[in-house]
Structure 1
Amino acid sequence: MAADEMIDEKAQASAWFRTLRDEIVAAFEALEDAQVSGPLADSPAGRFEVTETRRKGAEGEDAGGGLMSVMRGGRVFEKVGVNVSTVHGTLGEKAQAAMMARKGLPGMKDDPRFWASGISLVAHMQNPHTPAVHMNTRMFWTPHAWWFGGGSDLNPCIEYDEDTAHFHATQKAFLDPHGEEHYPRLKEWADDYFYIPHRGRARGVGGIFMDDHCTGDWAADFALTQDIGRAFLPAFLPVTEKRRDIAWTEADKDAQLVHRGLYAEYNLVYDRGTKFGLETGHDANAVLMSLPPMAKWI
């Protein structure tokens, strides 16, 4: 499919990301309600605070926006954000140069319009035995090309091999119907992408990731992107339910805070989505929602 205006396809993608957001928000609030034991069981169940975000274009015009949904201080989640947005406008010179270098789109100089829609989620947990997690999926369009991207990865500070195995097995089960070549390729991509060079280590135990995904078959690529999103709750919720009631020590909490420092370093130094969001004028609070509520460095 050529990169024409793709009005119907954009609408379908934007609606899907909002639907996925609603399902995840409901599931996370239900998880808060179900917490009946453990160190914080007597605390109030957490609820999301929802804020509308708006993006302004270069001339101050409306350029789309979305919803920033953040829960703080819950029974299970110390801080979790689930953002969804649909934005449009023109890419600045720096973003154009980056796009041309990565994608080889010389036409960007003559027509630098873009449209992007997606969902982004990061959860930092109360219990150090319960892993932090990240997920995002998105569609990006320019007059010269369109593509999908995203994935999810698990970030435990205290690792359990069975949790890692479940997370990966669930993702593989959702990807295999689209072709058994996808899971190993996207797993390897995640291993490379979520690596912190200056620390010489990964930020977690991996997952799946893709970017610039365009086979030319929009429906097939969209279906793959949807199943990356659908895999998230079945991959993450059972792990959380298994670990959320384990008693923790001060040493466990200290290990969690140090591990969160790694997460913050990665997102501020390397994450492509963070850089793009800030460079294109999106709401800074929404872009930086992924940062943990507390962290420490040795």
Structure 2
Amino acid sequence: MSNPFDARKARAAAWFAELRDEIVTAFEALEESQPDEAPAGRFEVTETRRATEDGSDAGGGVMSVMRGGRVFEKVGVNISTVYGNLGAAAQKAMAARGVPGMEEDPRFWASGISLVAHMQNPHCPAVHMNTRMFWTPHAWWFGGGSDLNPCIEYAEDTEHFHAVQARYLAPHGEALYPELKAWADEYFFIPHRGRARGVGGVFMDDRNSGDWEADFALTQDIGRAFLPAYLPIIETRRGMDWGDSERDTQLIHRGLYAEYNLVYDRGTKFGLATGHDANAVLMSLPPLAKWV
């Protein structure tokens, strides 16, 4: 007998794949439009699998990575759908977040898209976007968001990025954008540095209002907001001149980004703890970074 949530799981996974295809197409078009003698970057696509001790099927995904492009130094757009039984540590972590029934039935299913872009031009900000759905026999929820990570900040870029997020979230309630913005400000703060890793965006987790359709629609609009929030900034900044000083600033900021993802990021911890492909999980790390 099929689970009544199976159709909803399929819809969510299909949406994440559709969004991935849209973003990959847009990013390759941006590479083509940049005047440069070097070849335009292209995504390398690799299938990934979730590892289990007994070798059973536990799902996987598709890792799409572009390196050394005209505009993108490194960008990854990954999708995955994984399932199986959570280990003891993951069960404990989920129970601590208030997920019921983990000891009685540790089965789970999770699907999502994860994107991180590190740019050639230091005037072009790095960016992160992730949306996901998680299911257990006793609970379900959505999570994710989008945040901008410039090493050289421009107030007008920050204003544009946030304005697009606010516009796409507005149909879901006036209070939602301020709530998710504040959540992003808190989530992407680096305690040991006493600062945020970027200029924020929106973020949510454990989203279960009791209305699956409404929460799925919200998750879709967070994903739909990404390209109109980000691409105009890159179009404006990609042709700006830069030199050694700007590159040094960029590499130091990337060190900050790497610290956050390795020490605090919930998705990185979950992916490594549950046996997902380590290269896919660590795709977010920059190709080069430095520390002072």
Shorter-chain TM-score category?
over 0.9
Q: Deviations over 1:181-208 (max 9, x none)?
A: 1100000000000000000000000000
Q: Is the 8 A contact 1:277 1:287 kept in 2?
A: yes
Q: Deviations over 1:32-66 (max 9, x none)?
A: 00001xxxx21110000000001133421011111
Amino acid at match of 1:147: W
1:64 aligned onto 2:63 = no
Structure 2 runs not aligned, ≥5 long? none
| Distance of 1:209 and 1:193 partners within structure 2 | 8
Alpha carbons of 1:47 and 1:77: their partners in 2 closer, same or farther (altered >3 Å)?
Answer: same
- 1:284 pairs with 271, 278, 282, which one? 278
Q: Is the 8 A contact 1:81 1:122 kept in 2?
A: yes
Q: Which residue of 2 is the match for residue 156 of structure 1? A: 150
Number of equivalences: 290
User: What's the % identity of the aligned pairs?
Assistant: 76
1:224 aligned onto 2:218 = yes
State the 1:104 CA deviation: 4.3
- 2:129 pairs with 124, 132, 135, which one? 135
Equivalent positions of 1:141-180 (< 5 A) are 141-180=135-174
SS in 1 for 2:276: coil
| Distance of 1:147 and 1:296 partners within structure 2 | 37
| Distance of 1:219 and 1:277 partners within structure 2 | 26
State the 1:136 CA deviation: 0.2
Structure 1 runs not aligned, ≥5 long? none
| Distance of 1:180 and 1:286 partners within structure 2 | 36
Structure 1 runs (4+) greater than 3 angstroms displaced? none
| Distance of 2:213 and 2:154 partners within structure 1 | 37
Q: Is the 8 A contact 1:83 1:286 kept in 2?
A: yes
| Distance of 2:153 and 2:182 partners within structure 1 | 20
Q: Which residue of 2 is the match for residue 99 of structure 1? A: 94
Q: Which residue of 1 is the match for residue 24 of structure 2? A: 25
Q: Is the 8 A contact 2:164 2:228 kept in 1?
A: yes
SS in 2 for 1:74: coil
Q: Deviations over 1:66-116 (max 9, x none)?
A: 1000000000000000000000010000000000011242x1111000000
- 1:77 pairs with 72, 80, 88, which one? 72
Amino acid at match of 1:11: A
